[in-house]
């Protein structure tokens, strides 16, 4: 999944390589709002865990956790592509 994130997400995106488990932590550009991204993904069949829910102080607004368990690879790649395209759309709206 990390290879698809690097392919479909904007340049400068960082993602952790999980030591175990089925979660990927993704960090987007400073100032990007993953809550806005999550809202934009509604109705597209994809959901992310916004980074701010992992901080009592609201940090990590530009981060997200992605789960990649229990789905065939083609569905996971398609979901990552949809998230990447939605990020690009939101970035274009703010430019």
Any domain includes 47: yes
Q: Is residue 95 part of a domain?
A: no
Domain count, the chain: 1
Report if residue 24 sits inside a domain: yes
Q: Are strands 14-15 and 23-27 parallel, antiparallel or unpaired?
A: antiparallel
Q: pLDDT tens, 19-55?
A: 877 889 999 999 999 999 999 999 999 999 999 999 9
Selected residue with higher pLDDT from 19 and 75: 75
The answer as to whether 94 is a domain residue is: no
Domain containing residue 14: CATH number: 3.90.1150.10
Residues comprising the chain, all counted: 95
Could you tell me if residue 8 is inside a domain? yes
Give the confidence band of 69 by pLDDT, cuts at 50, 70, 90. confident
Range of the domain at 13: 2-85
Whether 74 is in a domain gets the answer yes
> Which stretches of the chain are DSSP H helices?
2-8, 34-41, 73-94
Q: How confident is the model at residue 71 (pLDDT cuts 50, 70, 90)?
A: confident
């Amino acid at each position: 999944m990390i290879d698809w994130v690097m392919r479909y997400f904007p340049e400068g995106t960082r993602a952790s390589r999980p030591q175990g488990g089925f979660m990927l932590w993704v960090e987007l550009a400073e100032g990007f709002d993953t809550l806005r991204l999550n809202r934009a993904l509604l109705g597209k069949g994809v959901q992310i865990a916004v980074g701010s829910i992992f901080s009592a102080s609201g940090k990590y607004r530009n981060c997200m956790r992605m789960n990649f368990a229990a789905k065939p690879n083609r569905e996971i790649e398609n979901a990552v592509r949809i998230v990447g395209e939605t990020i690009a759309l939101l970035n274009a709206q703010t430019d």
